[in-house]
Structure 1
Amino acid sequence: MTESDHDPGGDRDTDTQVTAAGSAALRLANVESADRNAALESIAGAVREREAEILEANAEDVAEAEAMLERGEYTQALVDRLKLDAAKLDDIASMVESVAEQDDPLGATLSARELDDGLELYRVAVPIGVVATVFESRPDALVQIAALALKSGNAVILKGGSEASESNRILYEVIREATDGRFETIPNGWAQLIEAHEAVDRLLELDEQVDLVMPRGSSEFVSYIQDNTQIPVLGHTEGVCHVYVDSEADLGMAEDVAFDAKVQYPAVCNAVETLLVNESVAADVLPGLVERYEEAGVEVRGDAATREVVDVGAATAEDWRTEYGDLELSVKLVGDVYEAVEHINENGSKHTESILTEDADTAETFMTGIDAASVFHNASTRFADGYRYGLGAEVGISTGKIHARGPVGLEGLTTYKYYLEGDGHLVASYSGADALPFTHAELDAEWTPGRRSGE
């Protein structure tokens, strides 16, 4: 491996990197699952072995970010997302191992159909090819995305935020050195790191070589990517998440869940930003809950009805559509579940919403009426996560509806091919006056190269 192979500041331009990724993708698609898993185990081991180097690089990013925070240019939430420590690095390594333990997403037969005797059609899962991702300050995202790409047989172009540049460089170096040249079947160049804004602009022009772009950031940022490329875009936008406390909620449980959804880790996209409370239980649940919030440092704002129950600041119309990513929360009182659903569908970001109620019919009304990727009943919004869903990890949480929705794991990084197995069959046999009929019978069969189910 040359110096420029893992140094984005070297002499390799974006076109060269994308070409290298494309070449690697064609080979990686045919690598056995055991070899991909071995490479992932190598990455996990390298993350643990090089802990000191990674934390040293991360400390440089954090120091610069804290200086920017003092100047009012960064938020505390951004600084918190940026920080790594020994425990987080161990979590990152464990996440890579979890991805390795997932079932192989490639080669699975998704459907099988007999067209006629001896003529069988199979739909089989395959990698997308070359995927590119542009993500925010969390350096652990780089490792998550790279691990999922490798497991799913995709080459990946990685672009992290400038605020995490030192962390991203060392983590990228660890990944490449743990795989390139160490396995006969894992192609060099399957992962590429770009840094300059100009590189992103050029990347977006390469629609014939890049198969999918996955931006993680604000709605404005995702819209910019969509407006400036012909590459399909799978966007991860902000999480304006809600918790609704219904009139039939277990109020003790509701208080605990609403607290967890905001305070457990407020800097992430699945933290609650607006709490909706049925007006009939507001006086019973809000005083104690707001006290807990304020003791935890949460700045609470409310509508006029909320402020008649508890002493909090005034919420504005802008608050209802704001992802704080910090210890801030807006509270609104509603008359019933229908008003809660209407408010969420009008102001939410289609990420994750939760209802707290003991009434099954009300829960059903909420869950079927909400337009969001994940809708929960009696659970914290913080559960919206690829690892917690059992996906191993995630490349992001898609708030769109095509081609993947919610936490995007291995399945979201695959597409499919149709494989047709015949025995000299001719289309001419199925046309004209003497045309043979198609059977179109569903098969319970797995595709095996060169063989039909009846053989």
Structure 2
Amino acid sequence: MELAQESRRASLALQSATAAHKSAALLRIHDLLAERKDRILEANRQDLEIARKELEAGRITNALYKRLDLSVGDKYASLLQGVLDVDKLDDPTGQVSLARRLDTGLDLYKVSCPVGVLLIIFESRPEVVVQISCLALKSSNAVILKGGKEATHSNQALFEVIQEALASLAPDVQENIPPASVQLVTSRDEIASLLSLDAYIDLVIPRGSKQLVQYVQGATRIPVLGHADGICSVYIDASADVAKALSVVVDSKCTYPAACNSVETLLLHVDVLPMLPKIASALGRNGVQLRMDPQSLASTGTADVATMPSSPADYDTEFLELVLAVKTVRSLEEAIAHVNEHGSHHTDCIVTESSENADMYMRKVDAAGVYWNASTRFADGFRYGFGAEIGVSTNKTHARGPVGLEGLVIYKYRLYGSGSATADYGEGKKAYKHEPIALDSAPHSFRR
């Protein structure tokens, strides 16, 4: 309760933070994260050592283990760059999306403003601590973070650096961005309590397993933004180009199979089955196992790839591994029907040379992202140019798809009058003008 109250107070202070204040905070966070890299990676190694034993015992998945590692490839460099990318983005608060003169001396403006206090519950990925904190600060929101126990040391180390950065800001900046703007809870027991605090917390964003998301959705009255599954599909249409199909399918499955935007179902129009041996061989070279319906299984030819007959459950499964369900369809309409019935409304792709078929697919498939001749792996806030993402949403309200800063602001209506009263309007009285006002003439006080 006390922690949530502190977050509420911090969120009110953040309402007055200027773009310059927020930039100072983000750059300080970046610099300290760079300076403390060795300490953070050492904490991450402790988590990896514990997680390896859990993986060997079968208590966690390989996908979760992979997501935990901060030292792999350029992940830490990307983490640092992500902070700078968020800093460079336009301030999402104070944006005017509607300006209307109701009457002389009575002007109405629709202005973006922060949501307030965010609660982020996530599993494994410790970089989320940094991504979410920076997005929250940039959008003038306070945030409470609850990470998974598998990343306890990493999360704590990253949080301590962010706290150190905020506590070392100049007094005028810290007045508007207090250290309580970012908070971390570590006990699982605290989740249920936090989910009951709808008086203080405005939005919950779960990032993790289907079980986690469904638990959160069923345990709170606070609005929840997120997605439960990433059952993404690629449909290869009758007119597909084989080179494009190969590129899209291999990238969608093999670049990072543990990601929620990795393809899990491959749909093949019956007319393109002759190209299946090439696609299967390419997937086989990357270690993919195919779970196939009878028609596609009979069409793999001599392709060097692991196969097995599919079960109905395979088309409703988010594997998060080098496993791909394959199904043959007789028409575009059948493909669309399958995606809408078995997909998770995350991201789906059509590979085709027919613009008419692509347009129909993109109109009729009910997903947050629908692509034409492009890998499902592009469903990512960084790749969309958001700097980073708060998560991926399959909601149909507020925000959908990869959610960046625009998903962390709402709006309020500001009305500027001159002693105006509704009693002055009506039959035989004054009439409303309802005239548009140029957006660039809005009061400068909206943007600070």
Pairwise TM-score range, normalised by the shorter structure:
over 0.9
Q: Which residues of 2 match residues 53-72 of structure 1 at below 5 A?
A: 53-72=39-58
Is the 2:246–2:282 Cα contact (8 Å) retained in structure 1?
Answer: no
Aligned to 1:12: none
The offset of 1:258, in angstroms, is 0.3
Aligned to 1:118: 105
**Which of 22, 46, 54 is the equivalent residue of 2:32?**
46
The offset of 1:30, in angstroms, is 1.2
Q: Which ranges in structure 2 are unaligned for 5 or more consecutive residues?
A: 301-305
**Which of 309, 316, 320 is the equivalent residue of 2:299?**
309
Q: Is it true that 1:156 corresponds to 2:156 in the alignment?
A: no
Q: Is it true that 1:251 corresponds to 2:238 in the alignment?
A: no
Q: Is it true that 1:439 corresponds to 2:426 in the alignment?
A: no
Q: Which residue identity is paired with 2:5?
A: T
**Which of 254, 275, 288 is the equivalent residue of 1:298?**
288
Secondary structure, aligned partner of 1:291: helix
Task: Measure the CA separation in 2 of the matches of 1:195 and 1:42.
Answer: 25
Q: Which residues of 2 match residues 143-292 of structure 1 at below 5 A?
A: 143-183=130-170, 184-185=172-173, 186-284=177-275, 286-292=276-282
Aligned to 1:410: 405
Is the 1:108–1:124 Cα contact (8 Å) retained in structure 2?
Answer: yes
Aligned to 2:370: 375
Aligned to 2:352: 357
Q: Which ranges in structure 1 are unaligned for 5 or more consecutive residues?
A: 1-14
Task: Measure the CA separation in 2 of the matches of 1:93 and 1:50.
Answer: 11
The offset of 1:449, in angstroms, is 6.4
Aligned to 2:320: 325
CA distances 1:359-411 after superposition (whole Å, capped 9, x unpaired): 00010111111000000000000000011111111110001111110011101
Task: Measure the CA separation in 1 of the matches of 2:358 and 2:377.
Answer: 19
Task: Measure the CA separation in 1 of the matches of 2:348 and 2:120.
Answer: 26
Task: Measure the CA separation in 1 of the matches of 2:114 and 2:208.
Answer: 25
Is the 1:217–1:238 Cα contact (8 Å) retained in structure 2?
Answer: no
Is the 1:47–1:89 Cα contact (8 Å) retained in structure 2?
Answer: no
Moved over 3 A (4+): none
CA distances 1:106-134 after superposition (whole Å, capped 9, x unpaired): 11111011110111011101000001111
The offset of 1:450, in angstroms, is 8.0
Q: Is it true that 1:91 corresponds to 2:78 in the alignment?
A: yes
**Which of 395, 398, 406 is the equivalent residue of 2:393?**
398
Q: Mark the CA change 1:305 to 1:190 in structure 2 (over 3 Å): closer, same or farther.
A: same
The offset of 1:351, in angstroms, is 0.2
The offset of 1:247, in angstroms, is 1.1
Is the 2:86–2:134 Cα contact (8 Å) retained in structure 1?
Answer: yes
Is the 1:421–1:450 Cα contact (8 Å) retained in structure 2?
Answer: no
Is the 2:214–2:228 Cα contact (8 Å) retained in structure 1?
Answer: no
Q: Mark the CA change 1:220 to 1:450 in structure 2 (over 3 Å): closer, same or farther.
A: closer
The offset of 1:434, in angstroms, is 4.0
Task: Measure the CA separation in 2 of the matches of 1:37 and 1:317.
Answer: 51
Q: Mark the CA change 1:450 to 1:326 in structure 2 (over 3 Å): closer, same or farther.
A: closer
Secondary structure, aligned partner of 2:423: helix
Q: Is it true that 1:109 corresponds to 2:100 in the alignment?
A: no
Task: Measure the CA separation in 2 of the matches of 1:383 and 1:232.
Answer: 27
Task: Measure the CA separation in 2 of the matches of 1:43 and 1:323.
Answer: 35
Task: Measure the CA separation in 2 of the matches of 1:237 and 1:447.
Answer: 40
Is the 2:99–2:436 Cα contact (8 Å) retained in structure 1?
Answer: yes
Task: Measure the CA separation in 2 of the matches of 1:290 and 1:138.
Answer: 31
Task: Measure the CA separation in 1 of the matches of 2:445 and 2:373.
Answer: 50
Q: Which residue identity is paired with 1:189?
A: A
CA distances 1:210-229 after superposition (whole Å, capped 9, x unpaired): 01111123333322212211
The offset of 1:333, in angstroms, is 1.0
Q: Which residue identity is paired with 1:214?
A: I
The offset of 1:38, in angstroms, is 1.6
Quick check: 433-442 or 206-215, which moved more? 433-442
The offset of 1:428, in angstroms, is 2.3
Is the 2:44–2:154 Cα contact (8 Å) retained in structure 1?
Answer: yes
Q: Which residue identity is paired with 2:269?
A: N
Aligned to 1:334: 329
Secondary structure, aligned partner of 1:312: strand
Aligned to 1:385: 380
Q: Which residue identity is paired with 1:138?
A: R
TM-score, with length taken from structure 2: 0.94
TM-score, with length taken from structure 1: 0.93
The offset of 1:70, in angstroms, is 0.8
Task: Measure the CA separation in 2 of the matches of 1:449 and 1:391.
Answer: 25
Is the 1:46–1:178 Cα contact (8 Å) retained in structure 2?
Answer: yes
RMSD: 1.4
The offset of 1:174, in angstroms, is 1.1
Aligned to 1:5: none
- The count of aligned residue pairs is 435
Secondary structure, aligned partner of 1:333: strand
Task: Measure the CA separation in 1 of the matches of 2:351 and 2:67.
Answer: 28
Aligned to 1:6: none
Aligned to 2:303: none
Task: Measure the CA separation in 1 of the matches of 2:7 and 2:156.
Answer: 18
Is the 1:214–1:236 Cα contact (8 Å) retained in structure 2?
Answer: no
Q: Mark the CA change 1:117 to 1:450 in structure 2 (over 3 Å): closer, same or farther.
A: farther
